[in-house]
Amino acid sequence: MARSDSRSRTLSRSESPELPDKEGGCSDSASAGVSRRELAWVALLYLLASFLATYPLGFWIGREFPVGGDSWQNVWNLWWTRTAVLGAKYDLLSCPVIFHPGGLSLALHSNSYFNTFLSIPFQGLLSIETLHSLSLWIYFPASAIAAYGLARRWVRSPLAAFLAGWIFAFSPYRMERYAVEQIDLVSTAFIPLFVLFLLKYLSKPKVSAALSASFFLLLQMLSSWYSGAFCMLFFLFAVLYYWLGDALPRGARRFWLGLGAIVVIPIVVMLPLIVPMLKDLSSPLYSRHVDQLQVSKATSSDLLAFVTPGVLIPSFLQQTTGWHGPLPRSVLDALSARILEGRGSNVLEATSYVGWVNLAIILVFWAGWKRRSLSGPRSGLQKRAARFWTVAAVVFGVLALGPILQIAGWQTRVPLPYALINAIPGFSVLRAPVRLSLLVMLAVGMVVALALDCWWRAGRKRLVLALAVLIAVDLAVVPLHRLYEGQPVPAVYAEIAEDNVPGVVLEVPSGYEFPSYWYNVRAMYYQTRHHRPLLVGYISRTPIDPYGLLEDYPIIRALSFESLTGESPPDQIDMERARADLATLGVRYVIVHPGDLTYEAGGDEAVAARVRGMLEAMFGPAVFDDGETLAFRSDPEAEQK
C-alpha cells in the first residue's frame, strides 16, 4: 500500500497542471507573491475598465428604468424576496400574488438568491431599480478580479493576468447579457474562485482548499442555477482530466472524502431549494409542454459564432470602422443573419464570439511550443497548465454547440456530446448550451495569459503590450446600448397603491401563453409599485393557464391576449355574469394599455375601442385616463353581495 500511495503522489506531481517542478524554476503558485497593494491597484484598474467597457450604460446607474423581459423579472425578484422574507404570511418559494387565486411555485424560477438577499438591507435606502443596476455592473470588476487571481496561479506577469480577467469579464457574451440585464448570467465572480480552490485541492489536498471550493460553489449556486451547474460540469471535467492523467491518489480515502465534500456540502445546504425543484420537475404541470432537448437546439452556439463578432450588438470596430476581423463586412453581415435565423425569441442566445486575436495567440503559442524562439521560456508547470486550459476551452466549446452541430444557421445531423449532458437528471433544465461560453472564455483567458506571460519573460514586451491593446479592441462592444428602451412606470400605479380597499389587478393586455410573456412580466414589474395580486405572471418555467381561468371565466378569455390578438375565439359576454366573475376572482382594478392593444392588432385601434366600451358598460367611466393608460375600478365585495 505504501508503494502504491507513493507512486500516486509521484504521478500527481508529474501530471498535475498545478504542481511545481525544476523545469524553468517556476514557483508552485505565482499568486503567492501577490501583495495587497498589487490587488488594490488591480481592483482600481478593473473599476475604471468597467466604466470604459460599459460606456455609456455604466454612467447611467440610478437613472434608468428596466428595459423589459428578464430585466423586469429580476427587479420583481428583489421586491418579492424582501416581501416574502420580511412578511410573515408568505413563503419564498410559493407565491400567491401572481396567478391569483391559486398562486404558483417559484422552485424552478430563476432567482439570484445571493443578490436578492444581499439587497434586502438596502431596499429602504435605494430604489430596487438602482440596486438592480448596481448588482449588474459590480460583477464586471468582481469577475475580472477573481479571474486575475486564478491566472496568477500560473502567471508571473501582472499584465498577462490582467488580460485573463479582461477576457473573462468583458467578453461579448457577458456584455450582451448586461445589455438585457440578466443578472443570473452576469453573476460570475465566484466561478474563477471555485475553480482556483478546486485545482488547489486536486494538486495539494488540504481541508482549507476543499472548504473554500465548497464555499464558492455554494455562493455561485445561490447566484445562478445555471452557472452553479456549470461549476459542477467543470468539477467533473477537472476530476476526469486528472484521473485520465493518472494524477489522482486512487487509494487515499481522505482525498476522495474531501473531493466529495466540495459538491456535497453545497447540495446539502441547498436542499430546501433543490427538493421543491425536483418535485416540480416531476410534475406534469411544468414538464408536459416543454421539449427540453428541442429548446436546447435553439439555444446552442453556432460553430461560426465563435469567430463572428457583433452577431446581435455591433462591436466597437464595427461601429467605428465598419470592419472587424479578416472577413469582409458583407460576409460578417451574412453570417450574423444566418446565425440569428430560425432562433425566434432565442436570438439572445446567439453570441459566443471568442476573439480573432485570442485565437491567433493560442494558435501561434501552440504552433511554436517546441521552438523557444516563438514560445519563450516556460516551465513544465506552465506547459501542463496551458494544456489543461486548452483542453477545457475545447471541451466546453463543443458542449456549447449543443446536441447537434449547427453551421451558419444550418442544423446538421451530426450529434454532439451535449445530448449526454441533457440526459443527466436535473441538467436538462439548463436548456441553453451557449451559456457555457462563460467557461469557454475563462479557459481562453487562461491560455492567452500563459502565452503572453511566456513572451513577456522572453523580452517581447512591446509585442505583449500591442497584443493587450488588440485584445481589448477586438472584444470591445462600445458604445454599449440596451437592446430595448426602458419606460417609466405609469402614474396610475401610485394611485392604486394608496387605495386601502383590497383587490386584484387585471392587466390588459396579458395572457396565458408564451407570446404574452412581455406584458405578463411587465405587470409583475408594475406590481412592485401597487403590491396587489395579479391574475397572471411569468416565471422561468410557467405552466399554461394552471387554473383553467380561460375556460371557466368568459370575461377572462375575452380580455386575454390570446383572444384580443385573434389566437383564440372570443366568447359572447354576458355583462352581469362578467361582473360576477370578476368579483369572484376579487378583481378591484382593470388596467388597460390602449397603445399596446393597437400595436398587437397591427395598428387597428378598433380592438382598444372595443375593450374600452366593454369595460365602461361594466364599470362606468375610467377612474384614470392619461391618454396612455386607463384604469377601471370595481368593488368585489359589493358585487358579491
The full DSSP string for 567-633 is SSPPPPP-HHHHHHHHHHTTEEEEEE-HHHHHHHTTT-THHHHHHHHHHHHHH-S-SEE-SS-EEEE
Of 12-16, 164-168, 319-323, 632-636, which gets the smallest average pLDDT? Answer: 12-16
Mark which of 414, 444, 475 sits at the end of a domain: 475
C-alpha span between 158 and 152 (Å, rounded) = 8
pLDDT given at position 17? 63
pLDDT of residue 485: 81
Whether 549 and 563 have beta carbons less than 8 Å apart is answered as no
- Average pLDDT of the chain, as a whole number: 88
Q: Is residue 379 part of a domain?
A: yes
Task: Please check the confidence at residue 551 and state whether its pLDDT lies above 90.
Answer: no
- Is residue 531 scored above 90 in pLDDT? yes
pLDDT per residue as tens digits for the range 232-259: 999 999 999 999 998 888 778 899 999 9
Does 529 lie in the same domain as 460? no
- Pair 365, 451: CB distance under 8 Å: yes
- Residue 338 corresponds to which amino acid? R
Q: What is the pLDDT of residue 32?
A: 47
pLDDT classification of 64: cutoffs 50, 70, 90: confident
Task: Answer whether residue 585 shows pLDDT above 70.
Answer: yes
In angstroms, rounded to a whole number, what is the distance separating the alpha carbons of residues 349 and 433?
9
- As a whole number of angstroms, the distance between CA 58 and CA 48 comes to 10
pLDDT value at 311 more than 70: yes
The pLDDT of 533-537, averaged and rounded, is 94
Q: Which of 171-175, 419-423, 554-558 is predicted least confidently?
A: 419-423
Task: Provide the pLDDT for residue 323.
Answer: 86
Is residue 412 located within the same domain as residue 268? Answer: yes
Both 165 and 311 in one domain: the answer is: yes
Quick: pLDDT tens for 68-83: 888 999 999 999 999 9
Cell 435605494, located at residue: 126
pLDDT band at 4 (very low <50, low <70, confident <90, very high): very low
Q: What is the pLDDT of residue 383?
A: 85
Torsion angle defined by CA atoms of residues 342, 348, 349 and 350, in that order, rounded to the nearest 10 degrees: 70
pLDDT given at position 571:
61
pLDDT of residue 563: 86
Both 566 and 629 in one domain: the answer is yes
For residues 529-537, give the mean pLDDT.
Answer: 95
Q: What is the pLDDT of residue 428?
A: 66
Cα angle: 43, vertex 48, 53; to 5 degrees = 115
Residue 26 lies in a domain: yes
Q: Which residues are paired to 410 by β-bridges?
A: 407
Tell me the per-residue pLDDT of 121-156, one tens digit each, with 9 for 90 and over.
999 999 999 999 999 999 999 999 999 999 999 999
Tally the domains of the chain. 2
Tell me if 537 sits within 8 A of 104, measured CB to CB.
yes
In this model, does residue 406 exceed pLDDT 90? Answer: yes
Residue 23 predicted with pLDDT over 50:
no
- DSSP assignment letter at 428: G
- Rounded Cα gap, residues 581 and 574, in angstroms: 10
Q: What is the dihedral of CA 473, 474, 476, 481, to 10 degrees?
A: 130
Whether residue 514 is predicted with pLDDT greater than 60 in this model: the reply is yes
Confidence of residue 296 (pLDDT cuts 50, 70, 90): confident
| Residues of the domain holding 575 | 492-640
Least confident of 155-159, 215-219, 327-331, 362-366: 327-331
State the residue for C-alpha cell 471541451: 395
Pick the last residue of a domain from 475, 507, 535: 475
Average pLDDT value for residue range 183-188: 94
d(CA 574, CA 59): 53
121 falls within a domain = no
Residue 116 covered by a domain: no
The verdict on 466 and 538 lying in the same domain is no
| pLDDT range class, residue 13, cuts 50, 70, 90 | very low
What's the rounded mean pLDDT across residues 369-386?
Answer: 69
197: pLDDT confidence band, cut at 50, 70 and 90?
A: very high
State residue 108's pLDDT score. 87
Position 104 pLDDT exceeds 70? yes
Q: Are residues 443 and 521 in the same domain?
A: no
- Neighbouring-strand partners of residue 95: 104
Average pLDDT over residues 364-388: 75
Residue 306 lies in a domain: yes
Q: 466 and 500 in one domain?
A: no
Which residue, chain included where needed, has cell 388596467? 591
pLDDT tens digit sequence for 479-504: 998 888 888 999 999 999 999 999 99
pLDDT at 322: 87
Across 358-384, average pLDDT: 77
Q: How confident is the model at residue 11 (pLDDT cuts 50, 70, 90)?
A: very low
- Please tell me whether residues 521 and 404 are part of one structural domain: no
Q: Residues, the chain, total?
A: 641
106 within some domain: no
- Are 464 and 325 within one domain? yes
Burial of 333 per CB tally in 10 Å (0-12, 13-18, 19+): middle
Q: Is residue 190 part of a domain?
A: yes
Instruction: Say whether pLDDT at 101 is over 60.
Output: yes
The residue ranking higher by pLDDT, 229 or 569, is: 229
Assign 8 a pLDDT band (cuts: 50, 70, 90).
Answer: very low
Yes or no: say if 16 and 263 are a contact pair by the CB < 8 Å rule.
no
**pLDDT 10s digits, 154-163:** 999 999 999 9
Return d(Cα 562, Cα 549) in angstroms, integer: 13
565 plus 460 within the same structural domain? no
In terms of domains, do 519 and 412 share one?
no
The pLDDT value given to residue 410? 92
pTM: 0.91
> Percent of the chain having pLDDT more than 90?
68
Q: Sorting pLDDT into bands at 50, 70 and 90, what band is 90?
A: confident
**pLDDT, tens digit (0-9, with 9 covering 90-100), for 411-462:** 999 999 998 887 776 676 677 899 999 999 999 999 999 999 999 988 999 9
Mean pLDDT of 502-524: 93
Say yes or no to pLDDT of 524 above 80: yes
Does 502 lie in the same domain as 468?
A: no
Mean pLDDT lowest among 2-6, 41-45, 62-66? 2-6
309 domain-assigned:
yes
